[in-house]
Amino acid sequence: MGKVLSANLGYPRIGKKREWKRALEAFWAGKSSKETFLETIKALRLSYLKKQKDLGVDLIPIGDFSLYDHVLDTAVLFGLIPDRFQTDESEVSLETYFSIARGNKDAEASEMTKWFDTNYHYIVPEISNDTKPHLTKNRLLDLFNEAKAELGIVGKPVIVGPITLLKLAKGYDSDHFDTLLDALLPLYVHVLAELQEAGAEWVQIDEPILVKAQSEEDLAAFSKAYAYIKKNVPDLKLLLQTYFEAVDHYQEVTALPVDGFGLDFVAGKEANLAAIKAYGFPKDKVLAAGVVDGRNIWKTDLSATFTELQTLLSAVKEHKNLWVTPSSSLLHVPVTVANETELDPVLKNALAFADEKLGESVILARGLNESEAAIYGAVEQNRADLNALQQSVHRNNAAVQKELDQLSEELPTRPASFELRQHVQADAFQLPPLPTTTIGSFPQTKEVRQARRNWRKGEWSDSQYDQFIKEETKKWIDIQEEIGLDVLVHGEFERNDMVEYFGEKLDGFAFTRFGWVQSYGSRCVKPPLIFGDVSWKEPMTVKESAYAQSLTNKPVKGMLTGPVTIYNWSFVRNDISQASVFNQIALALKKEVQALEEADIRMIQVDEPALREGLPLKEEKKAGYLHDAVYSFRLATTFVKNDTQIHTHMCYSEFDEIIDTIDALDTDVISIEAARSHGEIIATFEDFHYKKGIGLGVYDIHSPRIPSVAEMKSYAERALNVLDPKVVWINPDCGLKTRRTEETVPALKNMVEAAQQVRAELSNTVSR
């Protein structure tokens, strides 16, 4: 009969206290040698594997660890290296690897975008029609052998599948897909055959693209690919892993010639369960049941989940054909709750991070193998912990619930049309053509971070910290004036994070000390926990914005983070609807917008960079999400006066899919990225006549390189081919918090010079 196994799909890379991040950044800064860096990284990697072994996980992933990004790892493995980074080196060096991800003085970084509907960013593989994939170095083999030799772990290697890899890549014509797939498949076989020879029993091939819509041609490609792989490595067991949603073509997918299927029973629970109920599950195949939420931080309801697993066990017939797993890689959650010593016990006892989630998988598998009685104590404690939070005052705020009940179903609207507002605001602000501005934040130097630490530790008084923030703000107002920017910002030196800062000032949020997750590269974020009803307590941004405005005659934007982004960049309670949480946050932000307007801040930017990333993967769910997003944004912003200009910002999104939604937000100005996608976003506006203000991100702030005037000018000129000059603004593509001062100032000077040159050309054209 065998037994039900517990398995993991992927483990966080960053370490309990971001040791991985520090090692990377020390190496990049030249503060540690390559040898020291690699030794540190190896020790971390092995410690993660040992921890999973000690937790009792039966099948431990190998190769999920990365120095930057797992998609980049896969592309490099198969020689998919952009031409501008090609060298004559026999093996891809660390320098080349990191240059692809981060750029260098001679070449732009590869594009970065959201990993499905998460806040993780992957490096987009670049493939041309003429690309010849080739195997560089089988890193999976090295990592498998390392785990086996050092820890005695026969791991489960993990690799991004060939279809997902190609579908996420850019640069080749669609009619070359089959040719590229044919070139890749023998390389996959080579990698897998070497793993089998080394002793691997199972390999996890991630094909999350399967949860998105698939054409008949797509399904045929899957059939061809996996028939080829299985034919050439028939004795290696293959787990085809999906996550983030249900698979649409359940019968076709489960007919593929592999040995097991990983399905998401959290985000895709209803549809995947319905498919199994309707069509059964293939005999003698493994079902890796993703019943533990890999993307949120709440404890699994062990009692309800155990019942679901019993249903799945009856479908697969034998214990050996069922695995208990997280619903996705645990890359998306922090490492452990154990270090969180300052949380309210009612909240802490309801939390589960990566280590705790693996513990839940082990408990559930044990219950299936032994009996429900064997895990009775754990189940009862779990039930008590979840009930305590649900019944707490945090989730029963009568005032907030009354405000929600009083909301109308009609979309909130501005007092006047954009056309009228445009004229009123033009008279009020008297800006030049192509106004220049930034997205909001300026470099968070080590001095800024140290000041915040001193204040948080009580080593500085409130007045000392406030004085420091004022000095930084004045310094950067002066710098912006000197550079020649038209609309200024206060710099956000008081803010640790664009979501955490607001969460700390609102009721209903809680914060961890070590709850970090990877966003991109070494960039880690510590999402707030929205665990109760959200409400506004007092002004959050007025003091800093009003002070900055007092230093200049130029407009200074007030800076807020929008309700959808606060939601998408937080870990969110799962006991009420998404729309209800959106609107709770929006009602709180509305009070802040009112406070800014009363303080005579007449440009207010409410950023929604995460609106697109929260878009559901299933077509039938998108309209509802977008309606709720627009409603909440307008709830927070549309009541302002006509001469108050509302801005927003979005980044790294496929805007063509949501351009109608962007228009429906009814902002006066939206700023978007153009540089990282090499200006491709501008093509969206060739088909959609966008009439409102639009700020083009003409340089990529995620790379340390300083773009030239000509480069930024080219993006502006391309945009003016499809946009009315009267609505175009010029700005970086995102905030400058992560950049150094010596990178920021010259880049902004070049940006302003580029705008001035284009203005002059426009003026000459008009005069002629």
What amino acid positions are annotated as catalytic residues? 702
Residue 607, annotated as binding a ligand: yes
196, 184, 260, 195: which is closest to 228 by C-alpha? 184
Residue 613, annotated as binding a ligand: yes
Residue 627, annotated as binding a ligand: no
Give the distance between the most distant pair of CA atoms in the chain: 87
Residue 19, annotated as binding a ligand: yes
Report the distance separating Cα 702 and Cα 520, nearest Å.
Answer: 10
**In contact, 214 and 248? CB cutoff 8 Å:** yes
**In contact, 133 and 184? CB cutoff 8 Å:** yes
Residue 202, annotated as binding a ligand: no
Residue 477, annotated as binding a ligand: no
Report the distance separating Cα 45 and Cα 388, nearest Å.
Answer: 37
Q: Which residues pair with 556 in a beta bridge?
A: 488
Residue 673, annotated as binding a ligand: yes
187, 190, 194: which is closest to 165 by C-alpha? 187
DSSP one-letter string for 3-50: -PEEB-S---SS-TTSHHHHHHHHHHTTSS-HHHHHHHHHHHHHHHHH
Say if residue 214 is exposed, middle or buried (CB neighbours under 10 Å; 0-12, 13-18, 19+): buried
Both tokens assigned to 428 = 């009020």
346, 348, 337: which is closest to 391 by C-alpha? 346
Q: Are strands 322-326 and 5-6 parallel, antiparallel or unpaired?
A: parallel
Residue 569, annotated as binding a ligand: yes
Q: Which residues pair with 213 in a beta bridge?
A: none
Residue 50, annotated as binding a ligand: no
Residue 651, annotated as binding a ligand: yes
Residue 649, annotated as binding a ligand: yes
Rounded to the nearest 5°, which phi and psi values hold at 653?
A: -130, 150
Report the distance separating Cα 676 and Cα 750, nearest Å.
Answer: 17
3-state SS, residue 675: coil
Report the distance separating Cα 134 and Cα 118, nearest Å.
Answer: 30
Residue 441, annotated as binding a ligand: yes
**DSSP code for 548:** H
Residue 369, annotated as binding a ligand: no
Query: Which long-range contacts link 335-338 to residues 24+ away (Cβ below 8 Å)?
Result: 335/12, 335/14, 335/15, 335/16, 335/514, 335/516, 336/16, 336/514
**In contact, 11 and 48? CB cutoff 8 Å:** yes
Residue 516, annotated as binding a ligand: no
The residue assigned the tokens 């001062």 is 741
**In contact, 339 and 422? CB cutoff 8 Å:** no
Query: Which long-range contacts link 653-656 to residues 24+ away (Cβ below 8 Å)?
Result: 653/113, 653/114, 653/611, 653/612, 653/613, 654/113, 654/612, 655/612, 655/681, 655/684, 656/683, 656/684, 656/687, 656/688
Residue 729, annotated as binding a ligand: no
Angle between helices 139-151 and 70-77 (to 10 degrees): 110
Residues annotated in a binding site for Zn(2+) = 649, 651, 673, 734
Residues annotated in a binding site for L-homocysteine = 439-441, 492, 607
Residues annotated in a binding site = 18-21, 114, 119, 439-441, 492, 523-524, 569, 607, 613, 649, 651, 673, 734
Residues annotated in a binding site for 5-methyltetrahydropteroyltri-L-glutamate = 18-21, 114, 119, 523-524, 569, 613
Residues annotated in a binding site for L-methionine = 439-441, 492, 607
